[in-house]
Structure 1
């Protein structure tokens, strides 16, 4: 591509056509573990996802490059096969939600939300012919066999927040609005879809943690620090693909817009926020109260599950083809990103 002909995104205040990623992998000292069930869940979920016409055309090809099975195996390394398989079904379904529902504009989002949430609240009595409804009922009926009532409740509630925030995101996108950083952070904590995945940590490890424990400010802060690291680092990793589509719902344009920074400075700014989120996660653990031996032991498993998500998501981001195509390994070592040219017209998600 000739640099003279590239249309710089209006938000970009720099002519630079490349940027350097922050070194988040080195900043994270948690042990990376991978479940031995990885291959098996990958095969089983694929059969489930491709059943009938659930996923067709390009979406099928994208499935292989996604490597969701690897993410699941890294984020829930201690789960038994049955639980791991369900976590993988959910994560894969979450990535493909807009392919599984017909349209994710604002009306499409609320239609999808109604089908999904009714399928979760009434898994045995609500019937929708939509494929997203069938798939939701299928995995949730399996989940409720062993998930504690609290984990089920948290899963449904946080998934509800996800849909509300995605609807808001679709409105922002339609109006081409770039929110301020604070509003963006609040919204992003829900659009990420991380919170239901935290409920799956409880499910995957057969935990039954009381509401008062899960609602404790320190436990909430740990979940929030993890969510922030996963989502903000994701904004850095996905920025190149998103800027090529003219999508501004990403922390980097938000920071450039608000702080008046050039691209590299904004990337560094968000990178420092990511490092601070990891430090915050470690620091907050010093303030945990004790609830007695059994609860403390279960809570430690849950917190380890959050740490698995931090380290797992960071490494997976270079293994999946979602952000760096087939160059992930190379990017992981060089950390240099060449900006993609802007596409002629912004394509909808």
Structure 2
């Protein structure tokens, strides 16, 4: 995830530059479906976030262009309205939390982690002091009404991984450190926030897969392939905004420094990795073991949920204003990105 677009300075004509996005959308042949309750749930969830986070302009306008509810509806197309609403509230909260944490130092991030994890562990009786923690109590008290024990524990554990990784990112940011590619990929798989979203696949479908299934290497490989596609494509889509803000937590920056690639070369490199991640997903789908008829049905539902995340995130990235402003539909067609000017520090 990345901050929303802003533009506070100008770049002279001779400094303008551009790059071409890889064609990831047409290379993804999974069906895109939208939950029938998308729009009423999305609008209600937006109002919940605005009230809970106490956003003021210009953040209100930026947030309203996010359309996280539409992403949620594409990723959980078969959820009923109640479960979709919990997922949508979480998604809105996660994007907003991501923006908040970009402004936090390491200690602030650890403090937010403690508050939120406490709220997850006991959403009824915990005493949340932060706005983020109070919103956790709100959506997670509804989550636990139907979420199974395995699904619930996976959600909490992966949210903890998210906060730990974001604290590492904050430390790197403070030190001006750009990690090597392997280290970056490891941390990015957690800062993406994808893993708790995968736990929501189970929650939304009212299933609770046993640990022997969820810890199977093939299932874990499919999750990793999905996470990599969503995360690496996001690094491409968010790069323009991030480079304008001097943010270096991006795979493009890592590749340019470590491999000596120019901008287009780094973008093309990641594009090939993204296409390879879809192939990894399919290769592992082909070797899924059987756990018996009932579990196989639930596993198929979970795998379809991962597939929905791949296709849903790709299309949503152009529908939201977070990465491309109001030009997303044009950029989706021509794939030309003109670099934003650098903001003054």
TM-score normalized by the length of structure 2: 0.94
Which residue matches 1:301?
301
* Aligned residue pair count: 335
CA distance in 2, matches of 1:86, 1:27: 31
How far residue 174 of structure 1 moved from its aligned partner, in angstroms, is 1.2
Which residue matches 2:200?
200
2:19 matched to 1:3?
no
1:153-174 per-position Cα deviation (integer Å, ceiling 9, x unaligned)? 0000000000000000011111
Decide whether the 8 Å contact of 2:241 with 2:323 is kept in 1: yes
How far residue 52 of structure 1 moved from its aligned partner, in angstroms, is 5.8
Which residue matches 2:93?
93
How far residue 50 of structure 1 moved from its aligned partner, in angstroms, is 2.1
Which residue matches 1:9?
none
Which residue matches 1:327?
327
Decide whether the 8 Å contact of 2:236 with 2:267 is kept in 1: yes
**How large is the Cα RMSD of the aligned pairs?**
1.4
Tell me: CA distance 1:291–1:51, structure 2 relative to 1, closer, same or farther (3 Å). same
> Gapped runs of 5+ residues in structure 2?
1-10
Alignment of 1:55-66 (within 5 A): 55-66=55-66
Which residue matches 1:318?
318
CA distance in 1, matches of 2:291, 2:207: 15
Decide whether the 8 Å contact of 2:52 with 2:131 is kept in 1: no
Decide whether the 8 Å contact of 2:102 with 2:170 is kept in 1: no
CA distance in 2, matches of 1:137, 1:324: 33
1:66-100 per-position Cα deviation (integer Å, ceiling 9, x unaligned)? 01111001110011110001100000000001566
Decide whether the 8 Å contact of 1:98 with 1:104 is kept in 2: no
> Gapped runs of 5+ residues in structure 1?
7-15
Alignment of 1:229-268 (within 5 A): 229-268=229-268
Alignment of 1:47-196 (within 5 A): 47-51=47-51, 54-98=54-98, 103-196=103-196
CA distance in 2, matches of 1:242, 1:321: 14
Query: Higher mean Cα deviation, 155-164 or 116-125?
Result: 116-125
Which residue matches 2:7?
none
CA distance in 2, matches of 1:227, 1:285: 15
CA distance in 1, matches of 2:100, 2:118: 16
How far residue 59 of structure 1 moved from its aligned partner, in angstroms, is 2.0
Which residue matches 1:27?
27
TM-score normalized by the length of structure 1: 0.93
CA distance in 2, matches of 1:279, 1:107: 40
